[in-house]
Structures are given as C-alpha cells and as structure tokens.
Amino acid sequence: MKGSSYKFGSTYVGSKQPSPTEAYPVMIGEMSNEGNLQAQFIHQCTSRFKAKCIAQTQGSKLQSVQIGGDVVFKDSTISFVCADPDLLNGSGMLILHYLQGITPKLAIGSELLYQRGAARQQAIVTVAGRYKTDTWQAAGTLAMGGIHASFYRKANENVQVGVELEASLKNKESVTTFAYQMDLPKMNLMFKGMLTSEWTIGSSLEKRLQPLPITLNLTGTYNIKKDKVAVGIGAMLG
Amino acid sequence: MPETVSQIEGNYEDIEDETFSERLWGLTEMFPEKLRSAASNSTNLSSAAISKLYSFVRSSMWVGTTSFMILIVPVLFEQERFNLEQQQQQHQRQILLGPNAAVSNMQGGIGLAPPPPTK
C-alpha cells in the first residue's frame, strides 16, 4: 500500500474578464507534504497573446521550469513551450504547435518537438487533424513513432460515446478504448463506462444526494485477464 | 523327451492370462485399419472439442456477467428506483387528492377556482 500524502492547494483568479467564463490572471499553487511545490501562472497579456509559466520544485531545488505562450490569429493558433532551458549548457526542450482552421469544420495542425541534451539533439514532427460537425467529431494524430485516432459522438441529449485508438511503433503495442457517458439530470445521476482492448472494464457512478449538497462517487475497475479489481468511493461537498 | 509335460505346462504358467480388457481390445483387430483410425480420430476430436467448448462457455459467461454488472447494472438500478419513486408519488397524490388528480394535471393548482365548464 502506498504511503499517504496530503496536498495543499490555492488558486488566485484576477479581475480581468475577457468573457463570462474566463478571468485573468490565474495563479495556481500546490504543495505536497514532502515539500514539493508546483506553481502555475497564466495571464492573457493582450487579446491575442496568452502567457503561461509552470515551475516545479522538489524540496528547495528547482526541478523544472516551463515557459510558454499562445498567439491567436483569425483562424490559426501558434503556441510554443520552452522546457528546462539551460543557456550555459545549451540544453532544453522546445515544443512548437501550429494549428490552422481550413473550413469551419476541418482543422489541421503540426507539432515540432526539439530536444537538446548534453551530447545529442533530437527533433520529432507530428501532424494532426480534426473534423467536427454538430453531432460528431473525429481527430487523428500521426507521428514518427505512432498514431492516435479518436471519434466522438453525441447520440442524444443524455448519451455520449467515444472510441480512441493509440498505437506506438516504438513499443509495438496498440490500445483501443471505447467509452460512454450517460447524463441523467432528472435522476441526479452521471454514469461513465469504459472498455479497453486490454480486457479492462471500468465504470464510475456519480449521484447527487438531494437535498444534501453531497455528490457520491462510486468507481470500479476490473482487469479480466489479470483478474485485478479496484474499487473506490468518494464524496464531494458543494 | 527333453522336457516333461508338467515342465511344459509350468512354462505356460509363467505367461500371465490375458485380462478382460485386453481380450476386448483384441476383438477390434477384426476391423480394417481405416475404420479403426477413423473411429479413434473422431473420438479424440469430439472429446477435445467438448472440453474446449466447455471452457469457452465458462470464460465467456464470466466475462459477460462481470461486464454487464460493471457497465450496465448501476444504470438499470437507478432507473428502477426512479420509476418506483415516481409511482409512489403518483399513488400518494392519488390518495390525497382523488383519482382525477393523479391522471390529469389540474389547471391552476390547488386552491384556485375550478376551470369554467366548456360549452
């Protein structure tokens, strides 16, 4: 059994509100009982540019720093993230994304991941596409080391289903997952189910216990091949 | 004679008598080779098929039952409970306000004047 750990988190949300659902700047901090801190800072500097900075420390030493930003144009987005930059040794990782909308339904993008270590450098290019309609959405990613494809459909107002395939050429393995979600507000119930090609089934039941403001969450996962069961129970106040 | 009759009979006693099943097995030698091999192959095949079918049915029943219980049963439970609650509510309303209230929605609710008669 794993040792228990506690986490203390705090969130600060600023007063600048470009839309009713977002507010900037946002600062999120999370501290674990072993003294590891994770801090995030997100700010919308202008209407086009959003800056993001994430830092992680282990004890008193800085473990990793990520600085990034998003630039939004009329129908395209460029985002970049620079992880662990070390100018003295010339090492670090740079991730560059470019997403372009071609028609209102179709969007294509590409990603460049450039990593430079002590003696080696490596670049990986990935292309991605997404086709979206009112009821369904399909997306795919093609990289040098694997592919990832997904399909999502909203069957009716209560039921949503999705299928996902992830295949990796390096590890020579592929996993297919089928999942569905049933939203029944008149019964205060949300049920999610999942089935994978590695003979794993799982489900989660969330029920709001009226009139108390408590949501009860029951989950169960079963690996049929290895005969392993995991169950969980949780409660959310508010 | 080099051996007496009793010695010859003694030699024969060293050889054991055939058991009952050995005698039965010996009877099969009257059938032709093809028929014997066909019969043995078919019995082996059918016994292997039956044991495989049995283990397949067992494991598929286990997989089906656990998947059904984990993925579908909670929703059915909740739906049944909801329907039962609705029925109980309707029953209570029927008892409290009379049989008409449960069947049709009252216009305006309780406490107001009844709707004017339609001509």
A219 has pLDDT over 60: yes
Q: In the prediction, which pLDDT does B52 show?
A: 97
Q: In the prediction, which pLDDT does B97 show?
A: 83
Q: In the prediction, which pLDDT does B2 show?
A: 66
Supply the ipTM of this predicted assembly.
Answer: 0.72
Domain boundaries, chain A: 1-66, 73-132, 133-238
Q: Which residue of A has its CA nearest to B65?
A: A224
Cross-chain CB nearest to A203 (options B71, B79, B82):
B71
Tell which phi-psi region holds residue A23, choosing left (phi > 0), alpha (psi between -120 and 50) or beta.
beta
C-alpha to C-alpha distance for A27 and A12, rounded to whole angstroms: 5
User: For A158-205, what is each residue's pLDDT tens digit?
Assistant: 999 999 999 998 888 999 999 999 999 888 899 999 999 999 999 999
A78 has pLDDT over 90: yes
User: For A14-41, what is each residue's pLDDT tens digit?
Assistant: 887 777 777 788 999 999 988 899 999 9
Contact A179/B at CB under 8 A:
no
Q: In the prediction, which pLDDT does B104 show?
A: 56
All residues of chain A having their beta carbon less than 8 Å from the beta carbon of residue B70 are 193, 201-203, 220, 222
Q: In the prediction, which pLDDT does B118 show?
A: 63
A121 has pLDDT over 60: yes
Q: In the prediction, which pLDDT does B112 show?
A: 58
Higher per-residue pLDDT: A88 or A126: A126
Higher per-residue pLDDT: A236 or B2: A236
A128 has pLDDT over 60: yes
Q: In the prediction, which pLDDT does A175 show?
A: 95
Contact A226/B at CB under 8 A:
no
All residues of chain A having their beta carbon less than 8 Å from the beta carbon of residue B78 are 184, 187, 189, 191, 207
Q: In the prediction, which pLDDT does A34 show?
A: 87
A88 has pLDDT over 90: no
Cross-chain CB nearest to B70 (options A182, A207, A222):
A222
> What is the three-state SS of chain A?
CCCCCCEEEEEEEEEEEEECCEEEEEEEEEEECCCEEEEEEEEECCCCEEEEEEEEEECCEEEEEEEEEEEECCCEEEEEEEEEEECCCCEEEEEEEEEEECCCCEEEEEEEEEEECCCCEEEEEEEEEEEECCCEEEEEEEECCEEEEEEEEECCCCEEEEEEEEEECCCCEEEEEEEEEEEEHHHCEEEEEEEECCCEEEEEEEEEECCCCEEEEEEEEEECCCCEEEEEEEEEEC
Of the pLDDT bands very low, low, confident and very high (cuts 50, 70, 90), residue A117 is confident
Q: What token pair was written down for A119?
A: 């003696």
Mean pLDDT for all residues in chain A: 91
A101 has pLDDT over 60: yes
- The percent of residues above 90 in pLDDT, for chain A, comes to 71
Quick check: B78 and A195 CB within 8 A? Answer: no
Q: In the prediction, which pLDDT does A16 show?
A: 78
User: For A39-70, what is each residue's pLDDT tens digit?
Assistant: 999 998 888 899 999 999 998 888 999 999 99
Q: In the prediction, which pLDDT does A96 show?
A: 95
Q: In the prediction, which pLDDT does B102 show?
A: 53
- The percent of residues above 70 in pLDDT, for chain A, comes to 99
The tens-digit pLDDT sequence of chain B (119 residues) is: 666 776 666 666 667 777 888 888 888 788 888 888 999 999 999 999 999 999 999 999 999 999 999 999 999 999 999 999 999 999 999 888 877 665 555 555 555 566 666 65
Look up the CATH number of domain A133-238: 2.40.160.10
